[in-house]
Amino acid sequence: DTEVTQTPKHLVMGMTNKKSLKCEQHMGHRAMYWYKQKAKKPPELMFVYSYEKLSINESVPSRFSPECPNSSLLNLHLHALQPEDSALYLCASSTQENTEAFFGQGTRLTVV
């Protein structure tokens, strides 16, 4: 099973709302990632968790707050977003031995 599951698939939220994106994998991977992708651009790394600890924050604004409750789950909490934060948010996971990452299908986020 090489599946990374993301929910919801689509999300529309107002600038004053609080919402969360969820990601789950059951491949035993110990590294998990959040990426943001704008149209016609490559995915941009936001956060990396390694063994459930935040190891990389790519200078992401604090209105995005990641959380890793356990080795299979990754959340991204959203608060006071701006319209320019509208994008496809991708979760990925990988082993720790410098191999490829497996991506979920993404959450299409629209901020109104």
By CB under 8 A, name the binding residues for another protein: 4, 6, 31, 33, 40-43, 45, 48, 50, 55-56, 88, 90, 92, 94, 96, 98-106, 108
Nearest to 95 by CA among 5, 21, 2: 2
To another protein, the closest distance from the beta carbon of 98 in angstroms equals 5
Residues 40/110/59/106 CA torsion (nearest 10 deg): -60
- Cβ closest to another protein, residue 106 vs residue 111: 106
- Separation of alpha carbons 78 and 38, rounded Å: 17
Shortest spacing between CB 2 and another protein, in angstroms: 8
Residue 49 or 64 with smaller CB distance to another protein: 49
Nearer to another protein among residue 18 and residue 58 (C-beta) = 58
Q: φ, ψ for residue 38 (rounded to 5)?
A: -90, 160
